[in-house]
Structure 1
Amino acid sequence: MKYRQLTKEQFESLHEEFARFLASQHIDVNEWNQLKKEKPAVAEDELNVFSDVVWDDVLTKTNYLEHFSEKTVNLFKCEADEIHRIAIKVNWDINLLEQEGFEWLMKNPMDNSVDIFKGTKPYASERNAELFDLVEKGSGVSKGEIFEYFSQLIG
């Protein structure tokens, strides 16, 4: 398996897509139920293959990721061959996970208590694998507005 199996909730939200996937494997509902009972390892393999297909599709379409903690923000722009990162650290008692803290940062990005760093590096391994690692560590897919805002600020 290339990534990890989707969660039960993710499978439930993708049940129609999974049904189409099974149909493409020439497996109907009755056969699927029979597989789960009689050949659970084969059913597990089908779940794993579908999970990898979904993850690959999502990660291939991902252009931006972001990760927030109480004091730091990591923003990523994910291009084909390299990844750009803007790291922001707030050096005073504010919580960026709360609306008030986030709004303060957006209004005061050049405050003396804010450190902003940027960098670019080529992917060390396969692009989607690196993006998946960032997702597993808590990053979420974004539309990139925050990255672009800070990118324009720092030039």
Structure 2
Amino acid sequence: MRYRMLKEDELIHFEDELKQFLIINGVSAEDWERLNKNEPEKAIELVRLFSESVFSQLMERITHLEHRSPKQLLLFSCEKDTINLIGLRSESPEVDFSTTDSIHTSLQSHADKIVSFRQSKPYGKKREEELFEMTERGCLKSSAVFFEAVLKMVE
């Protein structure tokens, strides 16, 4: 399995998509109820296949990721073949990268206490799999606008 199986609380958000997936795969509502009751391993396999499809589509659409902590901000631009990083780090108690407002304030008022770095590298494995691992380690979807704004501030 390239990705993990969706958790029950995540599946709730994809209820309509799951129904469509089951219909496309020839599983009626009655068949689904029967599978869940009498052949749970087959129902689980269908959820695994659905999860793979969902995560694959989600990872293909990601263009930017970010990881925030009070002392570090990592912004990633996820291109086709390479991933680009802008990193900000500080040990100063006045600097906080936890929220958009505190990032802005830190960059404006305490820029001299912030170290910035940039890096580009090709993906170490398939793009979608690497992005999935990053999201599992705490990265969140971000935007090109945010990436470019921070890039301009640190150049």
Matches within 5 A, 1:13-28: 13-28=13-28
Give the drift of 1:108. Answer: 3.9
User: In the alignment, which residue of structure 1 is the partner of 2:84?
Assistant: 84
- Measure the CA separation in 1 of the matches of 2:44 and 2:150: 43
Tell me what 1:59 maps to.
59
Task: Decide whether the 8 Å contact of 2:96 with 2:106 is kept in 1.
Answer: no
- Judged with a 3 Å threshold, the aligned counterparts in structure 2 of structure 1 residues 61 and 118 are, in CA distance, closer, same or farther, namely same
SS of equivalent to 1:118: strand
Residue of structure 2 equivalent to 1:133: 133
Give structure 1 stretches of 5+ with no counterpart.
none
CA distance in 1 between counterparts of 2:151 and 2:12 reads 37
Aligned to 2:102: 101
- Shift of residue 98, structure 1, vs aligned partner: 4.8
Give the equivalent residue in structure 1 for 2:151.
151
Quote the offset at 1:91 in angstroms: 2.3
2:106 is the alignment partner of 1:114 = no
Whole-angstrom CA distance in 2 between matches of 1:99 and 1:121: 26
Deviation at 1:96, TM superposition (A): 2.4
Structure 1 Cα separation of the partners of residues 13 and 105 of structure 2: 35
Q: Deviations over 1:62-87 (max 9, x none)?
A: 10000101110110000000000011
Alpha-carbon distance, 1:142 to partner:
1.4
TM-score when scaled to structure 1?
Answer: 0.92
Number of residues of Structure 1 aligned to a counterpart in Structure 2:
154
More moved, 79-88 vs 3-12? 3-12
What is the match of residue 124 of structure 2? 124
Considering only aligned residues, what root-mean-square deviation do their CA atoms show, in Å?
Answer: 1.6
Whether contact under 8 Å (2:66, 2:139) holds in the other structure is yes
Give the TM-score of the pair, scaled to structure 2.
0.92
Amino acid at match of 1:96: F
SS in 2 for 1:121: strand
Counterpart in 2 of 1:68?
Answer: 68
